[in-house]
Amino acid sequence: MYIDIGEYLFRVDKAPNIVINNLKLMYDDAFSGFSHSPADFSVSLSHDSLLRRFVKPQVTFYLGNNSPFKPLPASQSYPVMEWGMNWCIAATDFNRLIVHAAVLVKNNKAIIFPATPGSGKSTLSAYFALSGWKLYSDEMAIIDLDTLKVMPLFRPVCLKNQSISLVKEWFPQSIFTGIAKDTQKGDVAHLKINNFAEFKTFSPVDVVAIVFPKYQKNTKTEPYMINKSTGFEKLAANSFNYNILGRKGFDGIQRLIEKTQQVEINYNDLSDVDNLLTSEFTL
Amino acid sequence: MNKQKTYNYIESLIFHNEIPIIVLKEWEIIIHVLREINLLAACYFRLEAEDKLTLLPLFALKHMKSAAVYSSRQSEQVIFESKLLQKILDDKDIHAVFLKGASYTLRKSRNSKGRVYSDIDLLVKKNDISKAETSLEKHAWRTKKVSEYDNNYYREWSHEIPPMFNIHRGTVLDLHHNILLPISGREVNVELLIENCQSIDGGYTVLGFAATILHSIVHLIINEDVSNGYRDILDITTLIKENDSPEFWQEITLLSSKLGFNNELYLALSLSKKYANLTVPNNVLMGLSEQINNSKLNFLLNYVYFFALQPHSPAVQTLKHKIAISIVYILGHLQKMPLKILVPHLLTKSFFSIRDQIFGKHHFDK
Amino acid sequence: MTKYRIKPSVFLYYPSDHIGVVGFDEDSHETFFINLNSSSLKKLLVHTLFDLPMLKESFECEQVTAKEILNKLLIYKIINEDL
């Protein structure tokens, strides 16, 4: 079985039925029985031990023969698959800068939202993606260090806890997997945004801004420009592979910071953020 | 693509830098196996040295290039770390010899590019171990937490202390005072090895080429775990080819005889001939006539080691590979310890692994 | 008079908003954020070799401050004494 996420192709060798069903739901035509292209990764989800197959069942994610995580309860199989896929990319791609961030695109211009604590980036991703923006990723910004363009990825949005019910309330037609309870991130569910046919029209685009949102219950939506060296620091701190890229990473981030604006936004209403960013960056 | 074919392409690529003439889809399994056996980066650099990167499809190139970036970063870290370590030990007048991966990188040998390192290995005199440990502790190095059982294993039976790690950078350091378990009765005369040292650029000490290669050979053959065996033979073959001279061959045959490792030398050279077509001078072979005529040894070579060292990947492995690996596992243990120590050790080890099979590896993690 | 030079392995980024300087050392792979006036630092490092008076001039500051700045640069390991 193959999952085509745009930039990468995964081959799934083995997975529980619940995972396969969710993959079909989340990836529609991007999930297929065969592909003529070579897969970047061969992954599987399997049970590790005799006892763990039947008593408190566990699954382990494998890339080839290596398992990067501890085994987790089988009830979390689907999130484990998605997190495993994230890991494969972040742990092996040193050709591009990979930032832990959401990427939303409007009018062919991208905004990167690094995953700082309290940012609410997943809820933001879901809201924006279902409100006319294109979702390039809810989890990782893949940036080409020569062109500084960001790559589209075909993935569902991972939502946690209250965000799940919030998004269901705002967008009653949205397509969700079931909720996996008691994961290390709390309750988790995945949300389908586009279908594969729509996604295939997305192409790499320039970044106009790097935005650090901070959700605060009782606040006005307020943007603050931050200075570039702080912007550099925060972007590098949120990059998975900055430490490996060395000089190329330093030069890339430098050029990206110079090319874009860096803004902090305190907010409590996502539609305000949407309006603010759309007008600020003429999107 | 069947397993034998897959293996053949991999052998030509790794040992002969021959790019397989295959369709794009078939590169999938090649890249996955190379990644599995940690030879993606090495492949990149070897092909780069022969100007062959442009002959690769983009799919293969991007994965090899990415691995090469990672590997280069690790090399830089090893160089940086070694500089600091040398200073710490110099300050205390402790003479240290860099072994294995770090030594290849520091001396810039041809097999140093594309390496994957897990740690830095240093050889010091047994009397200096404590002084070294103390000095390192003052510079943010700590001993890794290992189980009480393993701690005893390291200190009493093995030739090293439990690994140390740097609390700031996470680098792991293995301090050895010999290269084989003293209790095995096959303790290497360390003085002899150290006599064979050389100084290289940067003020580091490494073993001479003959000793380095012999060390690598011994480490490969007298070992129950050969999961990196294919990579090890690549190292050995590349090092030999880089130093191919009458003086080198004389040195290695002399050293091997003195230290009693002719069986291991014979096995390694024969495997290099089989995988890489290595040319071994006739006079060297004549010196190993006892081994050439040893039918048991040749059986081990052709039916056990030849298969056990091939890539440990399901894409290549068949039942005969798995059997060969099990035989090497038992033999490896037998060679490292006398039976009376081995049996309790294995029993303890296998209790843990049976326990883990049932309960899962992390069940008892704190 | 002791002369100093910037380490050859160090690369600097002077942000266009002139606030602070970001440095990268290729040897240690460390990235550091230098809380100094970027135009003054740029002015100083135009010289391959510099000394304390030259630093004082570039930063237009008192001797005491100049010494502090020099110390900062040494602690960051951006510069070496020229031996």
> Which chain A residues in 58-77 lie under 8 Å from chain B, judged by CB atoms?
58, 64-66, 70-71
A123 to chain B nearest CA, in Å? Answer: 32
Q: Residue A251: its chain C contacts at CB < 8 A?
A: 11
A219 to chain B nearest CA, in Å? Answer: 39
Q: What is the pLDDT of residue B182?
A: 42
The mean per-residue pLDDT over the stretch A241-270 comes to 96
Phi-psi region of B140 (alpha: psi -120 to 50; beta: other; left: phi over 0): left
Task: Judge whether B205 and B198 are in contact, CB under 8 Å.
Answer: yes
The mean per-residue pLDDT over the stretch A223-248 comes to 95
Mutation target to probe the A interface, by most A beta carbons within 10 A, among B73, B77, B364 is B73
Q: Residue C24: its chain A contacts at CB < 8 A?
A: 246-247, 250
Residue partners of B44: CB distance under 8 A and separation at least 6: B53, B64, B65, B67, B68, B114
Task: Judge whether A75 and A180 are in contact, CB under 8 Å.
Answer: yes
Are C13 and A243 inside 8 Å of each other by CB?
Answer: no
Q: What is the pLDDT of residue B330?
A: 85
Are C13 and A232 inside 8 Å of each other by CB?
Answer: yes
With a cut of 70, list the residues of chain B below it in pLDDT. 146-160, 179-189, 192-196, 335-366
Q: What is the pLDDT of residue B366?
A: 43
Q: Does B126 touch chain A (CB under 8 A)?
A: no
Q: Does A280 touch chain B (CB under 8 A)?
A: no
The mean per-residue pLDDT over the stretch A99-103 comes to 97
* Predicted confidence (pLDDT) per residue in B179-218, tens digit: 664 444 556 667 766 666 899 999 999 998 898 998 889 8
Q: Does A282 touch chain B (CB under 8 A)?
A: no
* Predicted confidence (pLDDT) per residue in B24-42, tens digit: 999 999 999 999 999 999 9
Helix (H) or strand (E) holding A18: helix A17-27
Q: Does B76 touch chain C (CB under 8 A)?
A: yes
User: Could you tell me which chain B residue has the CA closest to the CA of A59?
Assistant: B360
Q: What is the pLDDT of residue C83?
A: 79
Alpha helices by DSSP H, B52-141: 58-91, 100-107, 129-137
Q: Residue B69: its chain C contacts at CB < 8 A?
A: none
Q: Does C31 touch chain B (CB under 8 A)?
A: no
The mean per-residue pLDDT over the stretch A232-255 comes to 96
Q: What's CA B149's distance to the chain center, in Å?
A: 25
Q: What is the pLDDT of residue B296?
A: 87
| Rg over CA atoms, chain B | 21
Residue A272's Cβ-count burial label (10 Å; 0-12, 13-18, 19+) is: middle
The C-alpha atoms of residue C2 and residue B353 are separated, in whole angstroms, by: 63
Question: Taking the domains of chain B in order of start, what are their residue ranges?
Answer: 3-352
The C-alpha atoms of residue B241 and residue B275 are separated, in whole angstroms, by: 14
Q: What is the pLDDT of residue B355?
A: 58
- Between B191 and A203, residue with greater pLDDT: A203
A43 to chain B nearest CA, in Å? Answer: 11
The region of weakest confidence among A36-40, A215-219, B271-275 is A215-219
Q: Per-residue DSSP letters for B280-297?
A: --HHHHHHTHHHHT-HHH
Residue partners of B200: CB distance under 8 A and separation at least 6: B106, B107, B206
Q: What is the pLDDT of residue B158?
A: 59
Q: What is the pLDDT of residue A219?
A: 85
Nearest to B101 by CA among B70, B75, B125, B124: B75
Q: Does B80 touch chain C (CB under 8 A)?
A: yes
Q: Does C64 touch chain B (CB under 8 A)?
A: no
Q: What is the pLDDT of residue B159?
A: 60
Helix (H) or strand (E) holding A198: helix A196-199
What CATH number does domain B3-352 carry, 3.40.50.300, 3.40.50.1220, 3.40.47.10, 3.30.460.40? 3.30.460.40
Q: Residue B169: its chain C contacts at CB < 8 A?
A: none
In one-letter notation, the amino acid at residue B328 is V
Q: List the beta bridge partners of residue C79.
A: C6
Q: Does B118 touch chain A (CB under 8 A)?
A: no
Are B73 and A40 inside 8 Å of each other by CB?
Answer: no
User: Nearest Cβ partner of A228 from C19, C24, C31?
Assistant: C19
Mean pLDDT of chain A: 94
Residue partners of B55: CB distance under 8 A and separation at least 6: B19, B47
Looking at residue B81, the DSSP 8-state letter turns out to be: H
Q: Does B169 touch chain A (CB under 8 A)?
A: no
User: Could you tell me which chain A residue has the CA closest to the CA of C38?
Assistant: A229
Task: Judge whether A159 and A214 are in contact, CB under 8 Å.
Answer: no
Task: Judge whether C65 and C58 are in contact, CB under 8 Å.
Answer: no
Residue A118: pLDDT above 80? yes
Alpha helices by DSSP H, chain B: 3-16, 27-36, 40-49, 58-91, 100-107, 129-137, 148-152, 190-195, 209-221, 229-242, 246-259, 262-276, 282-287, 289-292, 295-299, 306-308, 319-336, 339-359
Nearest to B324 by CA among B340, B346, B302: B302
Nearest to A221 by CA among A262, A267, A276: A267
Output the tens digit of pLDDT for each of chain C's 83 residues: 889 999 999 999 999 999 999 999 998 899 999 988 899 999 999 888 999 999 999 999 999 999 999 998 998 888 988 87
Nearest to B86 by CA among B139, B161, B126: B139
Q: Residue A230: its chain C contacts at CB < 8 A?
A: 20
Q: What is the pLDDT of residue C5?
A: 92
Residue B342's Cβ-count burial label (10 Å; 0-12, 13-18, 19+) is: middle
Q: What is the pLDDT of residue A280?
A: 92
Q: Does C30 touch chain B (CB under 8 A)?
A: no
Q: What is the pLDDT of residue A122?
A: 95
User: Nearest Cβ partner of C20 from A229, A246, A247?
Assistant: A229
**Which chains neighbour A (Cβ–Cβ under 8 Å, 3 or more pairs)?**
B, C
Q: Per-residue DSSP letters for C26-70?
A: TTTTEEEEE-S-HHHHHHHHTSSEE-HHHHHHHHT--HHHHHHHH
Task: Judge whether B98 and B106 are in contact, CB under 8 Å.
Answer: yes
CA angle B219, B114, B307 (to 5 degrees): 45
SS3 state of residue B14: helix
